[in-house]
């Protein structure tokens, strides 16, 4: 009787709801998520992919449909396999995708490594591949489903991670075992910088200090002085760049685009500068203040980032320990932080300072160009970017995290009841490659792990924190950039 009463009650409620919603009891009781009845298909984002080292974050993406669970209400899990065409998936790459996951991406840099080291594809060779998605229903009576697709990949030969200089124009001459090492650019992959003295003579660029002249060299192109040729194994013409007048030079070699710039420089007036003042972490000391960081790409540009409190500051240059030495100061005392004007002067007669008011307390990044005498003083804010956070994928005008005593804090929801989502944290807003990112140390990192890395523009791994099913809720995120610590706490 209890069962019959329950069915009768459910039927009455269904009829009433049907009248209100203009639907049927059959529609109401049918759950398309529980009972999937779709044909399994697999698609790839491009059928012919030519990998380019200049685009490390380009992705190859696989998308598939749900398939069917044959009306069993059982879950469906997926396995993605990739192998050379014709190999019948004998030795495939295999990825366990779990349930409720219908997409998988591999970035260009990872894919190129796999092509060269796992599948043994030669750089520049076109290799055809097959991908297979297998849908397994968590019911012993249900048959597994399979869908396949084909595509081709052309890998590249990665450029060297090191670069050196040797030649009669250098201090080491033609002693390749002591070749001068160039500095890799932190902002542009594949670029290397030399800053220093060259005499009249010539030079070329080996990739190591191997004493054998049969190693790879980058030499001057016969067609243009600003172009390079990659001579593999020392082959090809041995053309060298000429320095006609000795002096200070900046040389930028771009291995990805095979270009080189050779600039004679007068040299920056200063090789080190420091922050001084009670608004800064240095306080009022000229003996051991905190230093700016000199740019590897432009030796005239110095940057400094820190938490500033209420007070004053100015910038020391030249040498330490001298209050009446060389300084960079604002044109007027208490000059607005938004102004780009700065004066380089010495002595103690004019002692203008920048002022941080109580309303302006926060973290700042200062960029000073000692050649053009310009300065940018920009407040640093942090923004949560992603569909798992409060701003969504809005990089143009996100809402900043709050700041207090060196900590950036967010209190609020992450995810929702219908979606898990993912997020990363930017130190800027505007366009996607305009500044620095705070990314988790690994892809799809859980909220319990606060380890992070700093990436620049669009050059680093695009890792994100990923909310799993059941993670949605209210959270506090706290980040201290000085201690490099981060905590994500469920409230």
DSSP reduced 3-state for 135 = strand
Quick one: 147 and 48 in the same domain?
A: yes
CB 145 within 8 A of CB 162: no
Quick one: 387 and 375 in the same domain?
A: no
Residue 468 lies in a domain: yes
CATH number, domain of 395, equals 2.60.40
What integer pLDDT is reported at residue 378 of this predicted model? 97
Residue 79 lies in a domain: yes
**Residue in 136, 157, 133, 160 with CA at minimum distance from that of residue 146:** 133
Quick one: 258 and 281 in the same domain?
A: no
CA 135-139-144 angle, 5° bins = 30
**Residue in 124, 187, 189 with CA at minimum distance from that of residue 163:** 189
Quick one: 47 and 138 in the same domain?
A: yes
What integer pLDDT is reported at residue 3 of this predicted model? 41
Quick one: 438 and 461 in the same domain?
A: yes
CB 320 within 8 A of CB 311: no
Low-confidence residues of the chain: pLDDT under 50: 1-33
In angstroms, what CA-CA distances link 334 with 168, 217, 292, 331, 378? 52, 54, 21, 9, 16
Segments forming the whole domain that contains residue 132: 42-154
Instruction: Give all strands (DSSP E) within 42-126, no chain letters.
Output: 42-44, 48-50, 59-64, 76-84, 93-99, 103-107
CATH number, domain of 139, equals 2.60.40.10
DSSP state of 443: T
Quick one: 473 and 406 in the same domain?
A: yes
Residue 35 lies in a domain: no
CATH number, domain of 316, equals 2.60.40.3620
Quick one: 234 and 323 in the same domain?
A: no
The 10s digit of each residue's pLDDT in 102-153 is: 999 999 989 999 999 999 999 999 999 999 999 999 999 999 999 999 999 9
Residue 109 lies in a domain: yes
Quick one: 334 and 362 in the same domain?
A: yes
What integer pLDDT is reported at residue 150 of this predicted model? 97
Q: Which two tokens stand for residue 51?
A: 């990998």
Residue 159 lies in a domain: no
Residue 248 lies in a domain: yes
Quick one: 70 and 136 in the same domain?
A: yes
DSSP reduced 3-state for 7 = helix
**Euclidean distance between CA atoms 271 and 229, whole angstroms:** 33
Please give the model's pTM, rounded to 2 decimal places. Answer: 0.60
What residues pair up with 402 in beta bridges, in sequence order? 409
Quick one: 374 and 358 in the same domain?
A: yes
Q: Which of 237, 264, 291 represents a domain boundary (last residue)?
A: 264
| Residue whose token pair is 């100061």 | 329
Residue 37 lies in a domain: no
**Residue in 400, 419, 415, 466 with CA at minimum distance from that of residue 439:** 466
What integer pLDDT is reported at residue 166 of this predicted model? 97
Quick one: 146 and 246 in the same domain?
A: no
Quick one: 341 and 390 in the same domain?
A: no
Q: Which two tokens stand for residue 190?
A: 């594949």
Q: Which of 211, 237, 264 represents a domain boundary (last residue)?
A: 264
DSSP string, 459-489: -S----EEPPTT--EEEEEEEETTTTEEEEE
Residue 49 lies in a domain: yes
Q: How far apart are the first and last CA of the chain?
A: 46
Question: Total domain count for the chain?
Answer: 5
**Euclidean distance between CA atoms 14 and 27, whole angstroms:** 10
């Amino acid at each position: 009787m209890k069962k019959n009463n329950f069915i009768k009650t459910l039927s009455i409620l269904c009829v009433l709801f049907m009248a209100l919603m203009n639907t049927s009891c059959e529609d109401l009781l049918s759950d398309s998520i529980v009972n999937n009845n779709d044909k399994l298909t697999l698609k790839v984002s491009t059928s012919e992919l030519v990998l380019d080292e200049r685009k490390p974050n380009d992705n190859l993406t696989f998308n598939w449909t749900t398939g069917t669970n044959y009306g069993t209400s059982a879950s469906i899990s997926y396995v993605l396999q990739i192998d050379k065409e014709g190999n019948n998936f004998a030795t495939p790459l295999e990825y366990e995708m779990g349930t409720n996951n219908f997409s998988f991406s591999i970035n260009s840099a990872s894919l190129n490594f796999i092509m060269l080291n796992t599948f043994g594809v030669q750089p520049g060779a076109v290799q055809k591949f097959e991908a297979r998605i297998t849908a397994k229903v968590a019911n012993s009576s249900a048959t597994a489903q399979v869908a396949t697709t084909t595509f081709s990949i052309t890998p590249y030969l990665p450029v060297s991670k090191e670069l050196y200089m040797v030649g009669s124009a250098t201090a080491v001459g033609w002693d390749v075992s002591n070749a001068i090492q160039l500095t890799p650019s932190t902002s542009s992959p594949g670029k290397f910088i030399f800053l220093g003295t060259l005499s009249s003579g010539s030079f070329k660029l080996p990739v190591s200090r191997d004493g054998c002249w049969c190693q790879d060299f980058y030499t001057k192109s016969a067609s243009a002085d600003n172009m390079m040729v990659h001579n593999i194994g020392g082959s090809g013409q041995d053309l060298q760049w000429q320095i006609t007048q000795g002096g200070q030079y900046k040389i930028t070699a771009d291995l990805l685009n095979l270009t080189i710039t050779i600039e004679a420089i007068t040299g920056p007036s200063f090789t080190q500068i420091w922050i001084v003042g009670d608004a800064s972490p240095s306080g009022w000391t000229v003996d051991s203040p905190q230093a700016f960081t000199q740019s590897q790409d432009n030796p005239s540009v110095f940057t400094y980032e820190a938490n500033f409190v209420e007070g004053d500051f100015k910038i020391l240059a030249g040498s330490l320990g001298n209050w009446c030495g060389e300084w960079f100061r604002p044109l007027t005392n208490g000059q607005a932080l938004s102004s780009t004007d700065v004066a380089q002067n010495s002595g103690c007669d004019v002692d203008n300072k920048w002022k941080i008011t109580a309303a302006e307390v926060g973290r700042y990044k200062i960029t000073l160009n000692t050649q053009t005498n310009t300065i940018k003083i920009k407040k640093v804010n942090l923004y949560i970017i992603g569909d798992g956070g409060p701003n969504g994928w809005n990089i143009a005008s996100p809402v900043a995290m709050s700041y207090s005593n060196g900590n950036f804090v967010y209190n609020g929801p992450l995810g929702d009841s219908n979606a898990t989502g993912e997020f990363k944290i930017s130190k800027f807003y505007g366009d996607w490659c305009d500044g620095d990112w705070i990314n988790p140390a690994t892809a799809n990192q859980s909220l319990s792990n606060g380890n992070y890395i700093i990436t620049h523009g669009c050059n680093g791994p695009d890792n994100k924190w990923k909310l799993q099913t059941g993670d949605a809720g209210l959270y506090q995120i706290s980040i201290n950039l000085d201690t490099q610590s981060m905590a994500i706490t469920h409230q």
